[in-house]
Structure formats: structure tokens, C-alpha cells
Amino acid sequence: MEIKITFPGGLGVDADFGGGVVIKTDQPVKYGGGGTAPEPFKLFLASIGTCAGIFVLSFCRKNGISTDGMAIVQRLESADDGHGKSRLSRITLEIQVPKDFPEKYYDAIIRVADQCAVKKTIMDMPEFEVKTVVI
């Protein structure tokens, strides 16, 4: 897979997946951006919850369970990194279900949310290589 990162202007940075799919990012106005799109880090955080969400949605559809009133609330905790800076230390995904959600599926819905590929990739970190190529 190849994703092309481009710089459309201002502090915007786009990720082009080909086939007409482009994800736009920007910086907040207070940091000199236009505030027209999420910051890259916020997009990364959203990918965790939305990835879990597609697994929850698929599970509910497969089992004929309505997702009306359901949500996933993602909570973030920070801790000192030992050098005076804050680091993300915990991410909690709270799957909120309505009162009529079948109790027999409580554990199952947690297991399906745990199948999120973004979470699995973070847990088994890939190697990174950054290089310059003259074109």
C-alpha cells in the first residue's frame, strides 16, 4: 500500500490513498493553521475509536441488534514521561449500550472491539524508516 502525503497550502497536510480518497489535516488557528480539518494526532486518535466502532457495528448487524443509542466514548489519560513532558499513557474505550442491549453480548462486544487493527498495530509496533529520496 502507498499513501502520498502532499502539502496543499497553509499548514494543511493531505494523505492521498488514490482512487479519489484524500484525508485532509490542518492545525488549529491558535497554532497558525486554518482549523479546517483535524490535526494529524487527533486523526490518529480517532482511528482507534472508529476502528473499534466498525467491529462493534458489524457485530450488531450480524446479530440483528440495533445501534440506536449506542456510542463508543474514547477517554485519554496522560502521564509525565520522566523528562517533564506529557505522554499518552492510557486509552479507554467505553462501549455505551442502551438498557435493552442483550446482556448476553456484553463480553462479546468487548472482544469484537478488541479486534481493531489500529489497536493491534500499536500493541505490536512496526519498525519505522524515514529517508530522503531525490526525484
DSSP codes joined into one string, the chain: ---EEEEEETTEEEEEEETTEEEEE---GGGTS---S--HHHHHHHHHHHHHHHHHHHHHHHTT---TT-EEEEEEEEEE-SSS-EEEEEEEEEEE--TTS-GGGHHHHHHHHTT-HHHHHHHTPPP--------
pLDDT of residue 58: 98
pLDDT of residue 81: 86
User: Domains, the chain, ranges and CATH?
Assistant: 38-123 (3.30.300.20)
**pTM for this one?**
0.88
pLDDT by residue for the chain (135 residues), tens digit each? 999 999 999 999 999 999 899 999 999 999 999 999 999 999 999 999 999 999 999 999 999 999 999 999 999 999 988 898 999 999 999 999 999 999 999 999 999 999 999 999 999 999 999 999 999
pLDDT of residue 50: 98
